[in-house]
């Protein structure tokens, strides 16, 4: 046990525990997290000279990133939640500056699946990335609406990091295996809709 | 008809063996249809993630609209009792430290190991250039404090390519920092088999044993440090210094 881990305040602990739950409890945790550090929007406006919309977007992206890391266990409380959130906020501000100065917004498209891509060997990754660059993202997004509400909700929960077991509980399916089969069928349906365009 | 989705899912969830993973990757390069299936899986996940994030942002907007004073809230501050506790702990620490220094006890082996880890393993060098290969990404995750993500990538690379000494070394270092000493030891033992000219594997094994501190670890660590000195291995000077201290 590391005795030098920072004392997490009770509220921070409660937020973390809530986000690691399912369904309604997780949503409450996400809301508390969003509310607790919202002063950063003002900091973005005054310290970083951002427009209000930019500061709000930056803060939203920060909280979304934080939720992901808390939910998947990557946040290990090596610092307080407050310090960690600020670090993410600052790093995203630096990314925003780089985007503005280099105008390379298109190459950041696959950042959210970087970890998945990094599992593939570099040579195979190049093949996949070249194919992904040919994706018609707007059409794919539109097909997502056509795939049906049940499929859409299930696929979104999956993309949001919920396990098949958690999806089963949330959507009242019998077992995780049933969810997995259904989810893969939904992906197949999405693929057929996309290719039929 | 082959069940591509299941197979692709098994790859990305880590359910395939290293040999099966290697076959999967070769297939991407040889079979265009299969590569397209994998690309679609990832593209779909990408778009879904963007949709999830877009809906979350809309929800955040609604929260902000419902509470116009949200942004005016001050930053949370720790309550007074934490500061009092911290102050009391500081006073006690000073008293204890003075007593300890007065008695001049030698540094414990775990302290020596902690100091070395703090000085040497806080940062991995990210090489300049435009490339975003897996090693670069893993180093970046490490430097950003995302140790678990970093460990996963280094481990994947090491499993795919057992001759990649950088991945093996860094996997060991990340697991050492994550206090997963058995895994760290396994990587440093694997590294020892490499014929690198400057191979710190034996020293790193000693370091890990000092941190793990199970029964017999200290003695074993001394033996390994002696081996570093006797065989003129990498980190010989530090090993020599540590052996000269009484522990």
pLDDT digits over B165-209, tens only?
A: 889 999 999 999 998 999 999 999 999 887 766 789 999 999 999
Residue range of the domain that includes B206:
111-243
The residue among B24, B75, B146 with the most chain A CBs within 10 A of its CB, best to mutate, is B75
Domain count for chain B, please give it. 2
Mean pLDDT value across chain B: 84
- Map tokens 């997490």 to a residue: A8
- Kindly provide the ipTM of the predicted complex, given to two decimals: 0.85
Residue B96 lies in a domain: no
Q: Quick one: CA dihedral B86, B92, B98, B103, positive or negative?
A: negative
For residues B56 and B117, membership in a common domain is answered with: no
Chain segment B202-235, per-residue pLDDT in tens: 999 999 999 998 888 999 999 999 999 988 888 9
Taking a contact as any Cβ pair under 8 Å apart, which residues of chain A between 3 and 22 contact chain B?
A: 7, 9, 11
Q: How far is A65 from chain B (nearest CA, A)?
A: 9
The pTM (predicted TM-score) of the whole model is 0.65
Residue B164 DSSP label = -
- Map tokens 């990649």 to a residue: B164
CATH code at B133? 1.25.40.10
pLDDT confidence band for A51 (50 / 70 / 90): very high
Can you spell out the DSSP letters for B99-114? Answer: HHHHHTPPPPHHHHHH
Burial of A163 (0-12, 13-18, 19+ CB in 10 A): middle
Residues of A in contact with B142 (CB under 8 A): none
Residue B147 lies in a domain: yes
Contact A7 B82 (CB under 8 A): yes
pLDDT for residue B74 is more than 80: no
Interchain CB contact of A133 with B (< 8 Å): no
Residue B90 lies in a domain: no
pLDDT confidence band for A44 (50 / 70 / 90): very high
d(CA A44, CA A59): 8
Residue B76 lies in a domain: no
Contact A11 B145 (CB under 8 A): no
Boundary (domain end) residue, out of B44, B63, B82: B63
Burial B20-49 (b: 16+ CB within 10 A, else e): ebeebbeebeeeeebbbbbbbbbbbbbbbb
């Amino acid at each position: 046990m590391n005795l030098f881990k920072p004392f997490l305040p009770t509220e921070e602990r409660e937020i973390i525990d809530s986000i690691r739950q399912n369904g309604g409890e997780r949503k409450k945790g996400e809301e508390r997290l969003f509310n607790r550090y919202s002063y950063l929007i003002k900091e973005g406006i005054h310290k970083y000279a951002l427009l209000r919309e930019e500061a709000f977007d930056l803060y939203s992206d920060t909280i979304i990133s934080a939720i992901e890391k808390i939910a998947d266990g990557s946040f290990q409380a090596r610092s307080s939640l407050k310090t960690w959130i600020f670090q993410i906020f600052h790093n995203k501000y630096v990314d925003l500056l780089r985007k503005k100065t280099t105008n390379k917004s298109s190459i950041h498209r696959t950042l959210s699946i970087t970890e998945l891509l990094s599992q593939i060997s570099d040579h195979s990754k190049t093949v996949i990335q070249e194919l992904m660059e040919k994706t018609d993202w707007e059409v794919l997004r539109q097909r997502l609406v056509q795939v049906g509400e049940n499929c859409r909700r299930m696929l979104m929960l999956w993309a949001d990091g919920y396990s098949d077991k958690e999806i089963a509980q949330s959507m009242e399916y019998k077992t995780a295996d049933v969810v997995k089969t259904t989810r893969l069928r939904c992906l197949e349906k999405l693929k057929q809709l996309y290719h039929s365009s | 008809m082959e069940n591509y989705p299941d197979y692709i899912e098994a790859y990305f969830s880590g359910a395939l063996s290293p040999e099966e993973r290697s076959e999967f990757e070769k297939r991407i390069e040889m079979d265009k249809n299969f590569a397209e299936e994998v690309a679609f899986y990832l593209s779909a996940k990408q778009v879904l993630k963007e949709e999830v994030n877009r809906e979350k942002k809309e929800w955040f907007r609604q929260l902000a609209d419902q509470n116009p004073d949200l942004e005016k809230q001050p930053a949370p501050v720790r309550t007074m009792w934490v500061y009092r506790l911290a102050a009391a702990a500081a006073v006690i620490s000073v008293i204890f430290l003075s007593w300890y220094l007065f008695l001049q006890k030698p540094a414990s082996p775990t302290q020596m190991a902690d100091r070395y880890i703090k000085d040497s393993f806080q940062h991995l060098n990210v090489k300049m250039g435009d490339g975003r290969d897996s090693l670069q990404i893993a180093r970046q995750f490490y430097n950003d404090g995302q140790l678990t993500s970093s460990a996963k990538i280094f481990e994947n690379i090491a499993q795919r390519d057992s001759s990649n000494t950088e991945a093996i070394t860094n996997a060991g270092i990340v697991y050492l920092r994550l206090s997963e000493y058995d895994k760290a030891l396994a990587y440093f033992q694997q590294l020892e088999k490499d014929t690198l000219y400057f191979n710190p594997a034996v020293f790193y094994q000693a370091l890990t044993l000092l941190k793990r501190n199970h029964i017999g670890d200290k003695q074993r660590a001394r033996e390994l440090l002696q081996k570093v000195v006797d065989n003129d291995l990498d980190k010989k000077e530090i090993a020599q210094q540590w052996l000269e201290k009484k522990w």
